[in-house]
Amino acid sequence: MMTENADKLALVTGASRGIGAATAKALAATGAHVILTARDAKALESVEDEIHAAGGAATIAPLDLVDGTSIARLASAVAQRWQRLDILVLNAATLGSLSPLAAADGKEMNHVFTLNVLAQQALLAAFEPLLRLSPQGRVIALSTSVARTPRAYWGAYGASKAALENLVAVFGEELKNISAVRTAIIDPGATRTQMRARAYPGEDPASVKPPEDVARAIMQLLAQDFESTHYLKL
């Protein structure tokens, strides 16, 4: 166990698998107490067990981010138990269907934006007071290249991530002169995740990097001082 994040509290969304799980384990391995959130309670318990077995500390908080009250309830619980939040990793997202924009299903597009944008804004709003209480509050948002370079058939996902990047950048601008909170956006590139497998079903998973590589990059970024909004492409 390393201790560079000892006494820090981190919250990782989408922590049941992939980049979220790898990042949670990496944070715990450096001494942080990690709150793990996702919808799948059993998968969260598995990640929590791995963290505890390695000597780390974690707490699971199974929830659906698109539930209208779940984020507020989580923020209230964190405030009561820990009083501050040092690291917020916005990883949870949904891909939706890859289709021509003219054929996009309105209901599905609404769900993509609800999770990828509206829930992220709700997280920022709910945890802003706790992040401002940290001597070094950090917000890390996972994005994608299609947020900045439009790609055919990726309209809903790309537009939602472009909106997320803007929200995180605005949040950083609003807080940089009145707090120690700093924001960063990471484009992990091709990574071995379930979302990647859905988008590229014929791809050999071994041909792209594992989530642990992204987690290491996040840890390296957290170890540095940076100005809002820092952008990192892997």
CB 158 within 8 A of CB 152: no
Rounded to whole angstroms, the Cα distance separating 68 from 29 reads 33
Rounded to whole angstroms, the Cα distance separating 36 from 59 reads 6
Closest CA to 194 of 186, 181, 182, 203: 203
Amino acid type, 72: A
Is 153 one of the catalytic residues? no
Rounded to whole angstroms, the Cα distance separating 208 from 19 reads 13
10-35 in b/e form (b: 16+ CB < 10 A) is bbbbbbbbbbbbbbbbbbbbbbbbbb
Closest CA to 173 of 165, 183, 163: 183
The Cα diameter of the chain in Å comes to: 51
**Identified catalytic residue from 153, 157, 200, 231:** 157
Q: What are phi and psi of 184, to 5 degrees?
A: -145, 145
CB 186 within 8 A of CB 139: no
Which residues are known catalytic residues?
157
